[in-house]
Structure formats: C-alpha cells, structure tokens
Amino acid sequence: MDTTLLQQMLLGALLGISVYLPLRCGQLSLATPGFYAIGGTVAALLSTRIPALGGDGVSYPISSVLLEMALAAMVTGILALGIGKVVLRLRGIYLAISTIALVEILRVVSLNLSFTGGAIGIFGIPQPFASPEGYVGFTSLLLAVVCWLCDRLERTRPGLAMAAIREDELAAASQGINTANTKLLAFVLSALVAGVTGVIAAHFLNSWNARMGNFDASITTLAFVVFGGTRTWLGPVIGGLVLTALPELLRPVGDLRLIVYGLVILMGPVLFPQGVITPERLSRWSRMLRQRLRLEAPTP
Amino acid sequence: MDDLLQILLNGLSVGAVYALFALGYTLVFSVLGVINFAHGAIFTLGAYFTYLLIGGGVGSNGLLAGFQLPVALPFWLALPIAGLLSGAVALGVERVAFRPLRKRNADPLLALITSLGAGVILVNLIQLLMGAESHSIPTGSLGSLPAALSFGGARIRTVQVLLLAVSTVLVGLLTAWIDGTRSGKGLQAVSEDPVTAQLLGINSGQMIQIAFGLSGFLAGIAGGLVGLSVSIAGPYFGIGYGIKGLGVLVLGGLGSVPGAVLGGLIIGLAEALVPSDLSGYKDAVAFGFLFLMLLVRPQGLLGKPLPNKV
C-alpha cells in the first residue's frame, strides 16, 4: 500500500479520536480542526524559527519533535481548558455553533497575523524522517499509545462517567457525577490529541497554513465518528482509517472525497444511529471469526 | 459625513442579505428546533439556478462543461423561478435528512449532522457538474436601470437598492403571513408544540414542509441577488454565508423573526464599520458577536429565554 496514504489514514484515525472524546459524553464539538491547526502552527514556528532545535532546513532531530508535541499539548490544553470552561455551559446546538465560531475565529486570526505567514503559511518545515515509512512508524506508535490510553480511560471512572452523561446528563448528575468537570476533561483531552496530531501533520506535509483548520476539516473529521460510532474508541479509529482511504481508492472515478463524506454523514445517523462499529457488533464479529477459525482447524 | 452615509448604506444592504438568509434558518428552527445546515448550499444553488436561467453558460470544467439553457430569461423572471427551484430542493432535503429522524424521535442534534451531509453533497454536486470556477451574472441583466444611484452625496449600486428592497418586501410579507393568517398561526402552533398542534387539527407535517419550502425559497432569492451583486465565487460561496448566518441567528435569537432581521442589520453595519486597515478581520465580526452572545445572553437579543430542560 502507498505509504503516504497510510500516513494520512493514521492521522485521520487520531483526529477521529479527537472528535470522539467529547461525543462520548454527548457533546458535539466541532473544534478539533482548530486545535489541530494550532498544533501544526506551533510545530511549524518552532522548527523553522528556532535554530537551537536542530533544524538545518533538511533534517531534524526526533527529540525536537517530541519537545514540540509537549509544547503543542501545553498550548492546546491550556486554551481548551479556558475555552471549555466557558462554552461547555452551552448544550446541543449552541455548543456545536460556538465551536464552529471558534474554529472560524482562529482561522481568520491566523490568516491575518504576520508571524503565521498569513494566507501563504509557513514553508520548508524540516523533516525528522527521511522517508514516509519513518512517519508511518512514528504515527503508528503514537496512535497505539493514544488508543491504549483511551482503552484505559473507558474502563475507569471518568470514562464511564462520560458514557453516563451521554445517556442522560441529569441522571448522571444525580448519581454524584461532576458533569461539568467530566465534560471539560473530554474537551481538553480532545484538544490535546488534535494538537499533537497537528505537530506530526505539519512535519509530514512540509508546509502549514490557515486553511488546515477550516470548516471542511470539521466535516471530514465528523464523518469519521458518525461512521465509527461514539460507543468505543475503536469506532472512530476504524472510521478515520477507512474513510481516509475510501476516497483515494475511488480516485479513478473522480474527486468524490467530499461527496463520500457527505453521504456518510447524511445516511449514517439514519441507517446506523449508533455508528457502524458498536461493542455489540464487535463481539458478534469476533465470535463469527472464532467460529470460522474453529471450523477450519483440523480436528485432533 | 458623506463617508459615514456611504458606510451605512453599504452595511445596510449587506445586512439585508444576512437578514434574508437568517430568516430561512429561523423558519426551520422555529418549527423543528434544529438548524438546517444545508441552508448555505441551497443559497448557492439559488445563485447557480439564477445564473443558468438568465442564459449563463457553464465554464470549461465539470461534467456539464459548455452547457447552456436554450432560453435566456430576464433577471426579474429568473430570480423567482430560481427561488422556487431552491424551495423544491429544500423540500427534498427535509425528506432525506430530517423526516427519517423525526419519525424515529431521534436526538435533534442528529439532524444537524444529516443536514450538514446533505449540504456537503449539494455543494460538491455543483462542483462536479459545473466546476469550481467562479461565474458572474452580467450586470446588464437589470435591463435599462442605471448601475448606481446617487443618494444624498453617497453612491449606492442599483443592485444594493434591489437587495434592500426585495429583502424588506419579503420580510414584511413573511411577518404578515405568520402573524395574520390561519396557516401562519398554524406554524406558530407547531413551533410551540407539534403534538398538541396535531391534536388541534393542524397538519404538523405539512407545516414543517411549508417552513422548509419557504426557507429554501428565501435562500434561493438571496443567493440569486448576491450572485448578481458580487458574482458567484464557486460552489463554496454559500458556505461562508451559511456559517456567518449562524452568527446573525444567535445574535437575534434563535427562532425569532424580528431577531433575525435585527441581527442581520447589526452584523452588516458592524462589518461595514471595520476600519480598512483591519479589513482582514471583517470575517471574524459575525463570529465574535456569536461567541459573545452565547456567553452573555444565549437566547439572543429578541429570543425567548431558554427553558431549563428537566
């Protein structure tokens, strides 16, 4: 398989997780592209403007990438903490609209600031890996870590509290769940994942501009989660992988990328209200797989 | 002083479009309590319909390259027809993106997602068929009318006068319909409580369709007028208005007809008052208002207070 496509699929899976986290507590936030753009901008600025990090225009040490990721996580995390405290008082449609506004404000501001390169953006971001394979390896590792953390989260109290809020916020609150803090946690974690993903994406794409975090990106990432479902982290991961690959595979037919995403988010909630990947379906599939394997195994 | 008058006139005519646009959102929101995210795409469609109906040819990209309708209608006839066609598309969107969810009593938030999907499909179908390039409606389409009028020392383009006039008339008609007629009262009843309205003999399903049809018609008209005023900058040009329209909607108060008009005018004027050295930030004005409003007064300037859901 094409390694560049594979890398894009991995980035898609990470962004899918970022949109999934607030939705796990029933909060539709479309802010992911905004935090993704901030993460990328942090990486682009640090690696091109600060010689001490070791960027010589061509190669770049991996340790500096890790440092950028830590800084991007700090910036997006603090920002999300402040913004989340305010916008998470809003519910439903109001929250969705306010996050759209947030992404648009960030985009307009970054288009107009001179140090982010304005409409042209930042070019010549140094490469920590000589080949796409290096990126794939690094991003796979990151995805694995994020997935493992999500899996831990879903088995512990905060993760279960998130699911409880999604089912019924009032009932969750009456069971002693601090709904405000739980929602804030999901929002901040979502921003962290998006910011860190932006760092890798900026290096991988070699250039970064304000259009990285536009409304289009909101739609794309939302489609990942609508397809994958909001019940388990595996859903958006599979959604991100499949839906990034699908339009590329359909490329011979024409540029159908956004039409495919449009169809997914139009038909998904109607045909699969829980998403395609649900815990029930997963266990059924794995049961079927095991049965098939048992049938094929020679009887002793 | 003349400068200020000029700025006010420009702001007013832009604001009138925003108001017309937000009214379409408001109609659907008031009956269903959800936002139709496909509204911006229908606005775009209205512009393209108008362009095709007055005899405009498709550029060299897209599947319909070089296509041209055999008839060339005058603008005043093409615009309402484009509005009707847009209304029909809005009815289709209701059928595909809203009705299945309503039948299942699903979370209204899901309709936000499905209508977004419908909008994305519409916009990209336009792109597939007609290419991504911009089309402009020739200014000569207004016939013998002069290009601009002089108004107390300020110049205002005839298109802008037309925008202002059409918006005012449509807003007036809509208000008269909602407040003064039986079907308009029916719409209000459905927006209050669809089940009770149904029990009282109002056909809720039909009222919802009327709301969608009207909202599509308004979007189509607004699209055609803006297309004439500033040219159609590709299939995505309605999306920008669509997102800005949300700002107008929240500023005025979701579901409030006078609120949508007031919000549109305020944001239009505020954008016109942005000094030219900061003009890059003009697009952020609506979102700034939106953000502030949601934090300070989520029900908007003229909206009803939000009920606490229990």
Q: What are the pLDDT digits (tens) for A182-225? A: 999 999 999 999 999 999 999 998 888 877 777 778 888 888 88
Query: For residue B66, what are its two tokens?
Result: 């070089």
pLDDT over threshold 50, residue B310: no
Instruction: Using a pLDDT cut of 90, give the percent of chain B over it.
Output: 19
Give the contacts of B85 (CB within 8 A, at least 6 positions apart): B45, B46, B49, B220
Average pLDDT score over chain B: 84
Min Cα separation A227/chain B (Å): 12
Confidence of residue A155 (pLDDT cuts 50, 70, 90): very high
Measure the N-to-C terminal CA separation of chain A; round to a whole number of Å: 38
For chain A, list residues whose CB is within 8 angstroms of any CB belonging to chain B.
28, 86-87, 90-94, 96-98, 100-102, 104-105, 108-109, 111-112, 170, 215, 219, 222-223, 226, 254-256, 258-259, 261-270, 273
CATH of domain B2-138+150-296: 1.10.3470
Nearest CA in chain B to A93: B109
pLDDT score for A298: 63
pLDDT over threshold 90, residue B139: no
Min Cα separation A294/chain B (Å): 40
pLDDT over threshold 70, residue A103: yes
Contacts B125 to A, Cβ<8 Å: 259
pLDDT over threshold 60, residue A299: no
pLDDT over threshold 70, residue A131: yes
Of A86, A100, A268, the CB nearest to B243: A100
Confidence of residue A256 (pLDDT cuts 50, 70, 90): confident
Asked whether the beta carbons of residue B109 and residue A273 sit closer than 8 angstroms, the reply is no
pLDDT over threshold 90, residue A140: yes
Confidence of residue B277 (pLDDT cuts 50, 70, 90): confident
Can you tell me whether residue B134 is helix, strand or coil?
coil
pLDDT over threshold 70, residue A51: yes
Closest by CA to B135, choosing from B40, B37, B226, B242, is B226
Min Cα separation B280/chain A (Å): 6
Most A CBs within 10 A among B243, B287, B295, hence the mutation to make, goes to B287
Asked whether the beta carbons of residue B109 and residue A98 sit closer than 8 angstroms, the reply is no
Query: For residue B53, what are its two tokens?
Result: 């109906």
Q: What is the pLDDT of residues B40-50, one digit of tens each?
A: 999 999 999 99
Q: How many Cα neighbours within 13 Å face the side chain of B276? A: 2
pLDDT over threshold 80, residue B262: yes
pLDDT score for B43: 94
Asked whether the beta carbons of residue A259 and residue B124 sit closer than 8 angstroms, the reply is yes
Does the model's ipTM exceed the 0.85 cut?
Answer: no
Average pLDDT score over chain A: 87
Q: What is the pLDDT of residues B66-117, one digit of tens each?
A: 778 887 888 889 999 999 999 999 999 999 999 998 888 877 778 888 998 9
Are B51 and B137 a contacting pair, CB within 8 Å? yes
Where do the structural domains in chain B lie, given as residue ranges? 2-138+150-296
pLDDT over threshold 90, residue A161: yes
